[in-house]
Structure 1
């Protein structure tokens, strides 16, 4: 049961440098957890799932973040807001915020030293990602994170001493991961372990403190509450979009569940910041899209990159995304919303193939909620691709393997259900949906 904690600890020990073997440990650990859940998970209770999930979060707290330096930016953004300034209007190296520096975030730049930076650079996208004077990545650009994430950073910063560095955020992320385990376990303890015991969750929550775990909580809560309280579900989905923009991709799945309220919640979260800093509220988002290849398609869509040049790749990716949205919109009335959200989010990740594997955290939660463990192949592939950064063909093949794995699993399920004609019991009452296993065999279709 504690394999997630063991795998997480192994990654913590070995991931000081980006090498292959820590990612292999992560992949193997995730597969083993999945097999154990599938084979022995039927008798699990809510309590044991949640307790083991809590134990899985412990190893990550013993180390500073290892998969990225994002948590240092989170700490800084929260600190800036507590000082009465907007992280959209200042960059970390700005000398006007020098009094907020400390040895944890700025080991090479004391408050009484000058960085030479004032204001926001004219072309921040051209600046280097790292600066040896600080642990904050992209210290020459304003923040990219949406307002709900910024509010979360501020609350955590309020209760975290400066000397604790990222520990407050790591603890908060670990607690969120455990809370999400409980929420999933109330629906189905067996599949909740797929999230709560996952080495990926152990690594990216209590260690890396990635804010994506908060987005996963909001998405899951939105799906769970959508049948009985559709307006609340829409608000939660809008809040998830205010943590990371990707959850807004799920709007087509909520076609009959007040998507306008979700968009309104998302927009409303920006209003205080717009009033404070105007168009600066976009932060580094435009520069990020350019740096990461979203604008020309050059460094995204790794699967399409195996076959298409950058200019065609971007167009095809857009067409596929629109087709997926239309399909989700069409099937939203007949299929369980958890299932629709799962394949929609997973397919979007396969099209875009983000460089950063923690973007897949919400997909793990949705896979657990929809009882579709094959989709875990997508975030697992992202870690292997992350270790292959700079090798475009290898990255594309890794993501293609994940896509084929998902397609193969769904095809096999369809064939088994079609041959047996099985139907299954309803989903737990508080989901408002019927379980896939009691639905007709069309649930096995590839989607």
Structure 2
């Protein structure tokens, strides 16, 4: 059965990627594929670490046969790594700046030669001459992400385009599968065999998969190596800022160590470019509507006018953080991190669904499969409505699923379908 199940998982991931490559509207296909994989894992009572990791590797292969599908972020990653290898900070100049013209190539700049002037640059819109998104603004990605881009750029010829990053992301996803499988192979399959992970690692190469690995490692070693766990959390925050939301779940001095790690990672860039190190972050928050609540907080938008959303979101965030700080005293850190991260995504409802990759890993560690509804809903909303505020309807459905599952868990003692099988009894 496990071989049949593995084949079904690979087929489901392939179907999602092929469908998205032809027309990025997976909708029901992604939903059905995700539920199918969950059903397969439910039925598989025993799995070995090797089997889970092998199938996870096979799930990543279809994504490597095609360029990024869900976004063009990977092209910015390639550019940032190349700029750093040239000895220039990616926070200093925008991609269309002619001072970086010598770094252009036909893959990233199909409509602009190295000896051609780019002309006036518009700040925050895409340009048909390059595959890099928002080429008129500096990078938004933090220092640890930049270090990752640089290493991959060093190992990848320019002609390979995003393939080096896709392979790197696939390897990270597989490594995280192994890390989770060592804890419990059956649960790890929910990460390694996930169509979403296949779509966003080997295919889209999103850096969020690196954040997921660092977060998972931090949670796993939190009780044995608390200082190292804090360093890993700070490093995750320096990949993508969202992991810093987990600070309330780490007690004692660990939050200070995590914040210190995060700040330290910025020091070399701060020395080099000063306040330019903020990059496009302020502009991004404004453009995405987080500053005034006009286009974000999609679930709150169903109930509140724009002027009330931001205040309400902040109040909810503070309440959730306080609850996490209190509950972290007596519940497993994986569980606290899971619902804390999931609640943050439901409050802010970011437009880009790959932000949910760390939540999948946390749901596996916490053994709370209901939280997988959040990243699945994010994809359905993204494919159906994009940046439209109506995505809140789908996100609300995910929130209802989580609440119902939470209520059932607290009212029954019946074993759950995904209850852990002790690792010592796995085969």
The TM-score with structure 2 as length reference comes to 0.94
Deviation by residue 1:63-97 (Cα, 9 ceiling, x = unmatched): 00000000000000000000000000010001010
Conserved in 1, the CA contact under 8 Å of 2:298 and 2:390? no
Q: Could you say if the C-alpha distance between residues 143 and 36 of structure 1 is closer, same or farther in structure 2, counting changes exceeding 3 Å?
A: same
Conserved in 2, the CA contact under 8 Å of 1:50 and 1:178? yes
Q: Which residue of 2 aligns with 1:300?
A: 296
- Structure 1 runs of 4+ aligned residues shifted over 2 Å read 2-20, 388-394, 424-429
Once the two structures are superposed, the pairs formed by residues 134-153 of structure 1 within 5 Å of their partners are 134-153=130-149
Q: Indicate which of 52, 55, 72 corresponds to 2:75.
A: 72
Deviation by residue 1:206-260 (Cα, 9 ceiling, x = unmatched): 0100000000000000000111110000000000000000000000000236110
Partner Cα distance (1:142, 1:256) in 2: 36
Structure 2 residue 25 is the aligned partner of structure 1 residue 15: no
Partner Cα distance (2:32, 2:330) in 1: 36
- 1:426 Cα deviation from its structure 2 partner: 11
Structure 2 residue 65 is the aligned partner of structure 1 residue 62: yes
- 1:3 Cα deviation from its structure 2 partner: 3.4
Conserved in 1, the CA contact under 8 Å of 2:67 and 2:162? yes
Q: Which residue of 1 aligns with 2:245?
A: 249
- 1:414 Cα deviation from its structure 2 partner: 1.6
Q: Indicate which of 163, 186, 192 corresponds to 2:188.
A: 192
Q: Which residue of 2 aligns with 1:43?
A: 46
Deviation by residue 1:155-196 (Cα, 9 ceiling, x = unmatched): 000000000000000000000000000000011111000000
Partner Cα distance (2:327, 2:258) in 1: 19
Partner Cα distance (1:2, 1:90) in 2: 47
- 1:16 Cα deviation from its structure 2 partner: 4.4
- 1:25 Cα deviation from its structure 2 partner: 1.1
Residue ranges of structure 2 left out of the alignment (5+ in a row): 1-5
Q: Could you say if the C-alpha distance between residues 172 and 301 of structure 1 is closer, same or farther in structure 2, counting changes exceeding 3 Å?
A: same
Conserved in 1, the CA contact under 8 Å of 2:91 and 2:138? yes
Conserved in 2, the CA contact under 8 Å of 1:226 and 1:257? no
Once the two structures are superposed, the pairs formed by residues 353-368 of structure 1 within 5 Å of their partners are 353-368=349-364
Residue ranges of structure 1 left out of the alignment (5+ in a row): 430-447
Q: Which residue of 1 aligns with 2:401?
A: 405
- 1:108 Cα deviation from its structure 2 partner: 0.3
Partner Cα distance (1:207, 1:390) in 2: 19
Conserved in 2, the CA contact under 8 Å of 1:2 and 1:55? no
Superposed CA RMSD: 1.9
**Secondary structure at 1:43's aligned position in 2?**
coil
Q: Which residue of 2 aligns with 1:86?
A: 89
Deviation by residue 1:129-159 (Cα, 9 ceiling, x = unmatched): x110000000000000000000000000000
Q: Indicate which of 251, 256, 276 corresponds to 1:260.
A: 256
Paired positions, count:
417
- 1:2 Cα deviation from its structure 2 partner: 3.2
Q: Which residue of 1 aligns with 2:205?
A: 209
Structure 2 residue 219 is the aligned partner of structure 1 residue 223: yes
Deviation by residue 1:381-427 (Cα, 9 ceiling, x = unmatched): 0011101236745311100000001111121122222x78xxx9998
Deviation by residue 1:268-290 (Cα, 9 ceiling, x = unmatched): 00000000000000000000000
Q: Could you say if the C-alpha distance between residues 309 and 18 of structure 1 is closer, same or farther in structure 2, counting changes exceeding 3 Å?
A: farther
Structure 2 residue 305 is the aligned partner of structure 1 residue 309: yes
Q: Indicate which of 30, 37, 61 corresponds to 1:33.
A: 37
